[in-house]
Amino acid sequence: MSEQNKAIHEPLLRVVKRSESSMKQKIVVRAAAILLALIVDALFIFFITGLNPLAVYTTMFQGTFSTAMRFSWALRDLASLLLIGIALAPAFKMRFWNTGAEGQVLVGALATAAVMVYYGGKLPNWLLYTVMCAASVLAGALWGFIPAWFKAHFNTNETLFTLMMNYVAIQIVACCVNIWRGQASGLGKLNMKSKAGWFPQVFGQRYNINLIVVVLLVVLMYCYLRYSKQGYEIAVVGESENTARYAGINVGRVIIRTMIISGALCGLTGFLIVGGRDQTISTSTAGGNGFTAIIVAWLAKFNTFTMALISFLLIFLQKGAMEIASAYALNDFASDIIAGIILFFILGSEFFINYRLIIRGSHKEVC
Amino acid sequence: MDTLIAWILRAIPFGTIIMYGALGETLTQKSGNLNLGVPGIMYLGGFAGFASAYLYENTAANPSAFVTVVLALCCAFAASVIGGMIYSFLTITLRANQNVTGLALTTFGMGVANFFGVYILDGRTATQTMIYKTFQTKIPGLSAMGVPGQLIFGYGFMVYAAIVLAVILHIFLTRTRTGLNLRAVGENPATADASGINVTRYKYAATCIGAGISGLGGLYYVLDYNQGIWATTGQIEALGWLAVALVIFTTWKPLSAIWGSYLFGILYWLYQFLPTLMGFSVPGYVTDLIQMVPYVVTIAVLIITSLRKKRENQPPASLGLAYFREER
Amino acid sequence: MEYAIELRHITKTFGRVVANHNVSLAVRQGEILSLLGENGSGKTTLMNMISGIYYPDSGEIFVKGKPAEIRSPKDAYALGIGMVHQHFKLIDVFTAVENIALVLDKHEKYDLKAIKARARAICDKYAFDIDLDQKVYEMSVSQKQTLEIVKMLYRGAEILILDEPTAVLTPQETDKLFAVLRNMRADGKSIIIITHKLHEVLSISDRVSILRKGEYAGTVDTDMATEASLTELMVGKKVELNIERPEPVNRHLRLSVHNLSVTNAEGVRVLNNISFEAFSGEILGIAGISGNGQKELLEAIAGLQNVDPDSSVVYFPDDDRDSTAEQLIGKTPKSIRDMGVHLSFVPEDRLGMGLVGSMSMVDNMMLKSYGNGHSIFADRKAPRHLAEEIKESLGVVTPSINTPVSRLSGGNVQKVLVGREIADAPSVLMTAYAVRGLDINTSYTIYHLLNEQKQKGVAIIYVGEDLDVLVDLCDRILVLCDGHNNGIVDGRTTTKEELGLLMTALQENKGGAAR
């Protein structure tokens, strides 16, 4: 066969799996992706509004960093997002597509709210908190257990199952909110007078408890996944069920156990959001964070510390976009666009971490 | 009797929204792509359709109803196709995870539609009466022929277009070579590849056209169902997920989407009409629970199909998985 | 004379592995040619180059006397070449007709009725027995195979290649297939059939071509061939390997396998009443063409396979025969381990079963032992020591013991796996294709390790494919053929020819009746 034949046979661009990519490479690729995304975002801002993108980014920066209060609000919202991300980490590490975090958070929040409504003022405070917490964890765990059980026994598609469970939860919450508000137009804060079930103020804010919990959980979940026996089992099941069986791991049991943990932590998030942040409940208590957290968990490759970074980036964008909105009389949906573009770029950049491109003829790598 | 008629008159337009969403997603999933960006795509379609009609009607000296409808349809389709292309490029070419990409697309589409919606209208609400009226135009003589005429012919043309589309999709998937090849790609891309089918091209085409069809659902929602009013609500998102549910409910069969979507419409409006029909009143909170029925039914279908393991009712075998040729 | 297809000096390499070297081969019009060779002799690779899956590095292909460029399956179709792969390329939820329609020529009208009529005509012509409206998932393996052949004929195949078609068939189905093949030959088609079974070669083919270790070893007319002569051509001359074989010491019964049968998910009996005994201080070789039940045998013993009723695997901890014997059937790998039985298993699929590719050496060390101790945290100190130790003692080449094992070369991956299994101080050690894909040095390291274990009193079950190695390394060799125990021979007195015959020709008393 001549050289010519060979050349025809070889396509213009060839994709080859990278055998190895160094830490430096990974960081460079991701940083480049974020930078590119910010440039695209800047172009978007410029063409739509005619505003100077740099000025806009400066304004954006102020959304989070201009005052201590702003920063603390950003941390509060970060806590909600990150908590869900942490809750999802074990499920995703096991390659169980839990798209139902939104619903698991909601049922947890609902359980908390129910305890506040029915037992607020009737139980001593410490007991009330305990019951709220326990109820939310149980509710979330149940919401995680149901699809897991079917997955373990009948291999029912978990992506679609958990997705549907979200809406079941939303409707149940809508129903309860309807009951509790009675004739009023909205539910308002629960136990407004007695403040029963509201978290106590720590360092001046109720939601600071959420922050403490999230910091704790970042470390705990990291250790759980990294160092515990169960974390090890999760990793093996996620990589290869065949190997898991070879190692003597009961795959079905690990799936169910992990989803109970994932659901329970989502439920706990619901408890923290209601008790520490909102003191009320609505169908938007989870606020789409259940979906965003999926992206956070996936991009961070289940490392809770990386998750904290990505969550912070997203919250920063959100706050920044709100700031732009008020400063330039735009609207804060811009944050969704900006976040969307950044997510697309980061998702796309994974390709260049895992593969490299080879141009025909040369042995030079493109990336 | 009047209640029943009113119920059906509500259910069918509602069903039509999600029928478009589901038909597009069925086409997409048949190629093995699980696109969870349907809500975002429906937002894009709804917004693009509305915006084009708005801009045209407000700038043209003498806007024609026909042009505005065609323009809206084309823009909605095109905007949704762009959404589909973003998804395709990331998942097919760059092999990004399908679920995560779909969710990001939902965020993005929602953001784009809502941002520009507010931006263009400058915070006002606008009703596009002319295009709404055109979408609502009924067949003159037939819709006036008593109750049956009203029930069968009492809707805008998009309702009938959806049915026709479902039939076309059914024929396409079962009777044509391209449809057969597409199903092969979704079932077993390696075999399709070995048979000389260009897997990448099929996946791109199905996903983009599927997105375009889904986007028409958003268009129909805004310009017909919602009477030409653009409002930034979460409504479309819920409808988008319902469309995904419908795909599962119909076990990936376009023809079943016709009755399935109307059934979902009936279930959705159950809370308002059933109590009146039965002659008792139901407190508001029960209606919330009744609205959950479509999702519960979908879960039941999901479980039953996984239990019965009947091969015809399973998702396309390669659904959710990226394909690339074995590199040795 | 014009050949239907002729290969001249074909060479194909994958990386550093030479799959085919300078192979020339020709098939006449209207004949059945058998392609014979051991595992890894390059038969399938060669055929894949004719059917457009691979492209040769060098060499030429002539179809009907004209030079041909075959770059894709489509090109092969256009030249009238069709191949039936071992793994069928069919869509499960499609009917037979729909599957045929999938490979339709672009210019042919898409009309399922017309396609069905044409397919029907082909079936009638060659006496294929198949329901064209049946869905593939409802078909038996033999029906699927028939469908593949019909598909190729429909596409106009004049030259048909069958890759081990009888491996999955019952004798009756094989007879049926052969009848059809003879009909096709009578019709002027050329057929290449890859097979290991000598009696089939003799009964079906006109000529036999033999490949040995990627090279062409000759062609003989079937009339002139006997099982013995073919075996000799296939296995070649005995190669002196100089693998040491210490005498068994302190030999006593360790494992007694009785009536072990396994039926797979498709309902095919892949292991048939296997009975044998394994002794401590001895290497028991398992020979056989791959896919004849080796995988199922080892997995059944390890507790990873569902076995048929009445199967029995009894484990004897020491020479006291009855008191402490344990039945292993019905136990999971974990419960076997909890009983204190140190059963080590080096599976064929190293990174898909034995190891987790994305994990480091350290984490892989603890795959079976992570549960030890009462802490909720897994102990990583001991695995780290073990990883260091294995890296040192076996010379594993890796940047660090924290590097994911999937980044290591094949030989190093195997050292990690074997090292871990041996470190468990096993009483039974099972290895499947332990040296497949490894270079000579690493292979010898592995043989040495096995011998060391043997001298420590471990009962070793060694599934291998290289007959030279089996003959030199093993004390006794059990030959599997078609899921049957086709005989156990003494490793010190047997010959490659004897093994080759046992591997390829089912003994009368073993087959037939059991089916």
Closest to C59 measured CA to CA, from C122, C109, C10, C99: C10
Q: Mean pLDDT across the stretch B246-259?
A: 92
Residue B248: pLDDT band with limits 50, 70, 90: confident
Chain A CB contacts of C354 under 8 Å are 243, 246
CA atoms C43, C46, C52, C54: torsion sign? positive
Contact B176 C110 (CB under 8 A): yes
Distance in angstroms (rounded) separating the CA atoms of residues C401 and C403: 6
- Rama region for A12: left / alpha / beta (φ>0; ψ in -120 to 50; rest): alpha
Which ipTM score applies to this complex? Answer: 0.87
pLDDT score at C511: 43
Question: Where do the domains of chain C lie, and which CATH numbers do they carry?
Answer: 3-235 (3.40.50.300), 253-342+426-514 (3.40.50.300), 356-424 (no CATH)
Contacts of C74 in chain B (CB under 8 A): 196
Per-residue pLDDT tens digits for B192-210: 988 888 899 999 999 999 9
Which pLDDT does position A361 carry in this prediction?
Answer: 54
Q: Which of A208-212, B36-40, B304-308, B311-315 has the lowest mean pLDDT?
A: B311-315
Number of residues in chain B: 328
- pLDDT tier at C109, thresholds 50, 70, 90: confident
Cβ <8 Å between A333 and B100: no
- Distance, in Å, from the CA atom of B129 to the CA atom of B135, rounded to the nearest integer, reads 10
Report chain C residues whose CB lies below 8 A from the CB of A239: 356-359
- Which pLDDT value is given to residue C514? 34
Q: Does C381 touch chain A (CB under 8 A)?
A: no
Determine the Cα–Cα distance for residues B54 and B48; give it in Å rounded to an integer: 10
Residues near A252 by beta carbon (within 8 Å), at least 6 away in sequence? A152, A153
Residue A61's pLDDT is 84
Q: What are the sequence ranges of the domains in chain A?
A: 1-51+350-367, 78-312
Please answer yes or no on whether C334 and A1 come within 8 Å at the CB atom.
Answer: no
**Which residues on A lie below 8 Å from B271 (Cβ)?**
none
Tokens for A140, please give them.
Answer: 């979330």
Could you read off the pLDDT of B17-57 as tens digits, one per residue?
Answer: 999 999 999 999 999 999 999 999 999 999 999 888 888 88
- Cross-chain CB nearest to B311 (options C93, C102, C104): C93
Q: Write out chain A residues lying below 8 Å of B29, CB-based.
A: none
C80: region left, alpha or beta (phi > 0 left; psi from -120 to 50 alpha):
left
B16 CA to chain A: closest CA distance, Å? 20
Q: Which residues of A touch B242 (CB under 8 A)?
A: 167
Residues of chain C found within 8 Å of residue B202, distances taken between Cβ atoms:
none
Q: Using the beta-carbon criterion (under 8 Å), do B191 and C91 form an inter-chain contact?
A: yes
* 3-state SS assignment for residue C381: helix
Q: Does B94 touch chain A (CB under 8 A)?
A: yes
Q: Which residues of C touch B317 (CB under 8 A)?
A: 92-93
Q: What is the pLDDT of residue B228?
A: 77
Residue A366: predicted pLDDT: 41
pLDDT for the residue numbered C513? 34
Strands (E), C244-352: 253-263, 269-279, 282-287, 312-315, 326-327, 343-346
Q: In angstroms, what separates the C-alpha of A350 from chain C's closest C-alpha? A: 16
Query: CA of A332: which chain B residue's CA is closest?
Result: B115
Query: For position A268, what pLDDT does the model report?
Result: 95
pLDDT tier at B328, thresholds 50, 70, 90: very low
Residue A245 at interface with chain C, using a CB cutoff of 8 Å? yes
Give me the residues of chain A with pLDDT under 50, please: 1-8, 362-367
Phi, psi of A336 (to 5 degrees): -65, -40
What is the biggest distance separating any 2 CA atoms in chain A, rounded to whole angstroms?
89
Q: Do B187 and C91 touch (CB under 8 A)?
A: yes
Nearest to B44 by CA among B97, B85, B101: B85
Decide if B95 and A161 are in contact by the 8 Å CB cutoff. no
pLDDT exceeds cutoff 50 at C53:
yes
Q: Which numeric CATH code is attached to B2-313?
A: 1.10.3470
How far is it, in rounded angstroms, from Cα C75 to Cα C72? 5
C92 reaches B (C-beta below 8 A): yes
Nearest to B114 among A288, A333, A350 (CB): A333
Residue A250 in contact with partner chain C when CB distance is under 8 A: yes
Torsion (CA) B250, B255, B260, B261 in degrees, nearest 10? 120
Give the number of beta-carbon pairs within 8 Å between A and C. 73
pLDDT at C326: 84
**CB A149 within 8 Å of CB A256:** yes
Q: Residue A363: its pLDDT value, please?
A: 47
| pLDDT for C278 beyond 70 | yes
B-chain residues near A324 (CB < 8 A): none
Residue A343, helix vs strand vs coil? helix
Does A62 lie at the interface with C, CB-CB under 8 angstroms? Answer: no
Q: B64 pLDDT exceeds 60?
A: yes
Residues A149 and A193: their CA atoms lie apart, in Å, by: 42
In terms of CA atoms, which chain B residue is nearest residue A178? B285
Q: Determine the distance in angstroms separating the CA of C110 from the nearest CA of chain B, rounded to an integer.
A: 6
How far off is chain B from A106, nearest CA to CA, in Å?
Answer: 15
Cα separation values, C382 from A172, A244, B267, C365, C372, Å = 51, 21, 61, 9, 11
Contact partners of C by the rule of 3+ C-beta pairs under 8 A? A, B
Q: Tell me which H or E stretch contains C147.
A: helix C141-154
What secondary structure does DSSP assign to A105-142, as a single string? Answer: HHHHHHHHHHHHHHHTTTS-HHHHHHHHHHHHHHHHHH
C410 touches chain A (CB under 8 A): no
Q: Please indicate, yes or no, whether the overall pTM of this predicted structure exceeds 0.95.
A: no
* Contact at CB, A154 and B306, closer than 8 angstroms: yes
The phi and psi torsions of C259 (rounded to 5 degrees) equal 55, 35
Q: Is C363 on the interface with A (CB under 8 A)?
A: yes
Q: Number of residue pairs across B and C with CB atoms under 8 Å?
A: 52
What is the amino acid identity at position C456?
A: K
Interface check C193 vs B, CB under 8 A:
no
Report the neighbours of B using a cutoff of 3 or more CB pairs below 8 angstroms: A, C
How far apart are alpha carbons C50 and C191 in whole angstroms?
Answer: 13
Q: What is the mean pLDDT of chain C?
A: 87
Q: Which residue has the higher pLDDT, B133 or C99?
A: C99
> In which band, very low, low, confident or very high, does the pLDDT at C398 lie, cut at 50, 70 and 90?
confident
**Chain C CB contacts of A226 below 8 Å:** none
Q: Which of B232-241, C23-32, C172-181 has the highest mean pLDDT?
A: C23-32
The region of weakest confidence among B177-186, C176-185, C222-231 is: C222-231
